[in-house]
Each structure stands twice: as C-alpha cells, then as structure tokens.
A = this chain, B = another copy of it.
Amino acid sequence: MTVLPPPSRVRVRYAETDKMGVVYYANYLVWFEVSRTDWLRHSGWNYVEMEAEGYLLPVVQAHCAYKQSARYDDEIEILARGTLLSPVRIRFDYDVRRAADAALLAEGYTVHASLGPQGKPRRLPPRVLPIFSRES
C-alpha cells in the first residue's frame, strides 16, 4: 500500500503578490513545481539525482483554475497527485488550499514528458512507477 506524500506548504511572499493585493496568477505554477518536487522526493526520486541520471521532465501542458485569492502571508498547502499517462508521460494534479480553513483557492494540472539526455523520450525508471496512479 502506498502512503501518499503530504501536501507541501508555502507562506505567501510579498514578492508573489501584485497590485490587486493578491497572489499573481503565474505564481501558482511555481507552487505546483514546489509540490511536485516534494512529491517526487517522497517517492524516493530526488529531482537533482534524476537530472544527474539524465532525466528531464519538461512541462508540456499547464492548467490552473482560480477559485479564491491567496493573500500575503497566508499559509498555503499544495497537494499533488502523480498519474502515469504512459511510460514516457506523467500528469500531476494539484489542489491549492489556504491552510487556516482548508478553502480551495485553485486547482490545476501539469503534463510532463520524460526525456533522456538528448531530448528523446525516455521511459521512467521502474523504481518510481509504484507511487503513480494509473489512468483506468
């Protein structure tokens, strides 16, 4: 049985806000990155080692639906779940919540190609596969 990685936690930085007084929309994609990195680390696949072994996971698609605004100094939880789309393609889904009341602020996903050192598709290493869900 797989124990799912816990959500990542960030605190909103002043740098991440904009003149509307809320978090600028592109920064949610940065938080997505933080949480999928944590998720992979939990799965035993440190992104640094991964790149050292010649894997890259560039984003080929990103999506975010914004529900409520995150504000300066809010504590934010980002829950990631990884799904195997094919041996060379994965998807991460994300929920972004305000820690104080668990309000859903945004949800989104990213799709990634698994590439080898020459930029060619490369099958994910078998040891990381168990943590991913499968598309039924």
Contact = CB atoms under 8 A, between A and B. Distances in A.
Interface string A1-40: 0000000000101110111111011110110011001000
Contacts of A73: 37, 46-48
A66 B60 contact: yes
Interface string A106-131: 00001000000000000000000000
- As for how many copies of this chain the complex holds, the number is 4
B64 A61 contact: yes
Contacts of A24: 14-15
24 contacts: A13-B30, A13-B34, A14-B33, A19-B19, A19-B21, A25-B29, A25-B59, A25-B62, A25-B110, A26-B26, A26-B29, A26-B30, A37-B73, A58-B69, A60-B65, A60-B66, A61-B63, A61-B64, A61-B65, A61-B66, A62-B63, A62-B64, A62-B66, A63-B64
A27 B15 CA distance: 9
Contact of A18 (B15, B25, B61, B64): B15
